[in-house]
């Protein structure tokens, strides 16, 4: 999706932050967030980790005069646990022996000068979505990669995307050989298209940007 690019210092902060999103996908996310920000509604991501993508959402939100929201329990998703390829021992709290990415996330935002533009919602996505009742300009789904978690994120948050708003899905891999975490985001992407409520507007790597075209999502979409 054509759109503005982040300032050099924001892009540098993004590249320096702990995380997995490549630059080309980050630029596409920023462009989507800048576009969605024109609706004057908050921008929300599911799956914070250490705040790499949050930097881009927060800066786009700052430019648009809206708030960036980020949802995560900060205990890490399945593929980030000990013994998995995406595990980082530095994210483990030595006192309790569990992952805790919240301190790293806060440091990331502080270094980027974006703390005041972000509201961190610390908890499990379905619990927070169940009590959420406000429209959103953008929902970025980048949480757990099991079918259970990916579908719960879609079901909980996609209905809150305002008309004309954007649903952005990360790690969409049509070929199961492409990514060991599986195809759950790909199946959610297909589900969104089949719902009739969203149409695809851009693709960048594994990032898919969909726009809300209808007020409702069919129950079995």
Q: Is 210 within 8 Å of 199 (Cβ atoms)?
A: yes
Q: Does the pLDDT of residue 217 top 70, yes or no?
A: no
Q: Is 152 within 8 Å of 125 (Cβ atoms)?
A: yes
pLDDT digits (tens, 9 = 90+) for 76-125: 666 655 655 655 666 666 777 677 889 999 999 999 999 999 999 999 99
Q: List the single range of 120-129, 144-153, 196-205 with lowest mean pLDDT.
A: 144-153
Helix (H, G, I), strand (E, B) or coil at 211: strand
Would you list the DSSP string of 123-180? S-HHHHHHT--S-EEEEEE-S--SHHHHHHHHHHHGGGEEEEEEEEE----SSTTS-T
Q: Which residues contact 88 (CB under 8 A, 6 or more apart)?
A: 18, 80
**Residues 104, 7: Cα–Cα separation, whole Å:** 22
Would you state the structure tokens that stand for residue 87, as one six-digit string?
């595990």
Question: What domains are there in the chain, each with its CATH number?
Answer: 8-28+44-212 (3.40.50.150)
Cβ-based neighbour number of residue 109 at 10 Å: 23
- Give the position of tokens 């169940």: 130
Q: Does the pLDDT of residue 1 top 50, yes or no?
A: no
pLDDT band (50, 70, 90) for residue 208: very high
pTM across the whole model: 0.89
- The number of CA neighbours under 13 Å toward the Cβ of 77 is 22
Q: Catalytic residues, which ones? A: 145
């Amino acid at each position: 999706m054509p759109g503005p690019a982040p300032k050099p210092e924001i892009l540098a902060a993004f590249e320096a932050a702990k995380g997995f999103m490549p630059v080309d996908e980050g630029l596409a996310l920023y462009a989507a967030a800048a576009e969605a920000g024109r609706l004057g509604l908050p921008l929300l991501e599911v799956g914070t980790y250490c705040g790499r993508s949050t930097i881009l959402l927060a800066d786009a939100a700052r430019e648009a005069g809206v708030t960036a929201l980020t949802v995560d329990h900060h205990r890490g998703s399945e593929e980030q646990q000990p013994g998995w390829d995406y595990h980082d021992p530095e994210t483990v709290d030595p006192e309790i022996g569990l992952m805790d990415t919240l301190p790293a996330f806060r440091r990331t935002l502080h270094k980027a000068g974006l703390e005041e533009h972000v509201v961190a919602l610390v908890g499990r996505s379905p619990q927070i979505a169940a009590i959420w009742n406000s429209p959103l300009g953008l929902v970025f789904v980048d949480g757990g990669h099991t079918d259970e978690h990916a579908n719960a994120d879609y079901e909980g948050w996609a209905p809150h995307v305002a008309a004309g708003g954007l649903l952005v899905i990360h790690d969409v891999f049509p070929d199961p050989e492409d990514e060991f975490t599986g195809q759950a985001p790909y199946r959610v992407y297909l589900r969104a298209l089949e719902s009739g409520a969203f149409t695809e507007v851009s693709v960048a790597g594994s990032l898919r940007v969909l726009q809300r075209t209808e007020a409702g999502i069919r129950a079995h979409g």
